[in-house]
């Protein structure tokens, strides 16, 4: 499989705990290095990962929760050239589950924005959602 780069961004509202938002990301993707950047009225948590191993925990969760078919649909709708973009519900991720969401409407505290960059998104989709 070719080179894979995982990029995650999560806006942290003033009412949220930085550590809890980190936990939400870690619960879905495993341990990652984080950066925090200031925003106007909030903070932006950024996490980066490289290689297939950065998606192993996410792939295992898709299988465990029996949502591979739904994930395949979401991923396929969100392929843009050499990337897959999607959002996850932050609150659901905090408790160790996956729930796909729209960028704004379904996640009152804001979503976890995920971008997977790779040369062949269809191959990554197949690997993530294979039975």
Please name the CATH architecture into which domain 4-129 falls.
2-Layer Sandwich (3.30)
Residue 79 CB partners (closer than 8 Å, separation 6+) = 121, 122, 125
Neighbours of 130 (CB within 10 A): 11
> For the chain, what are the domain ranges?
4-129
* Tens of each residue's pLDDT in the chain, 131 residues: 579 999 999 999 999 999 999 999 999 999 998 999 998 889 999 999 999 999 999 999 999 999 999 999 999 999 999 999 999 999 999 999 999 987 765 566 789 999 999 999 999 999 999 86
At 103, phi and psi to the nearest 5? -60, -35
Specify the pTM. Answer: 0.93
What is the 3-state composition of the chain as percent helix, strand, coil, each rounded to the nearest 5? Answer: 35, 30, 30
Cβ(12)–Cβ(111) below 8 Å: no
């Amino acid at each position: 499989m070719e080179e894979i780069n995982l990029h995650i961004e999560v806006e942290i509202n003033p009412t949220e705990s930085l550590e809890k938002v980190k936990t939400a990301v870690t619960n879905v993707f495993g341990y990652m290095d984080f950066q925090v950047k200031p925003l106007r009225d909030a903070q932006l948590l950024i996490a980066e990962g490289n290689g297939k191993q950065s998606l192993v925990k996410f792939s295992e969760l898709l299988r465990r929760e029996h949502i591979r078919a739904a994930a395949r649909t979401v991923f396929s709708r969100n392929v843009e050239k050499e990337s897959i973009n999607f959002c996850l519900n932050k609150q659901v991720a905090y408790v160790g589950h996956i729930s796909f969401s729209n960028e704004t409407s379904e996640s009152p505290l804001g979503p976890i924005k995920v971008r997977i960059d790779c040369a062949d998104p269809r191959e990554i989709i197949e690997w993530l959602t294979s039975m």
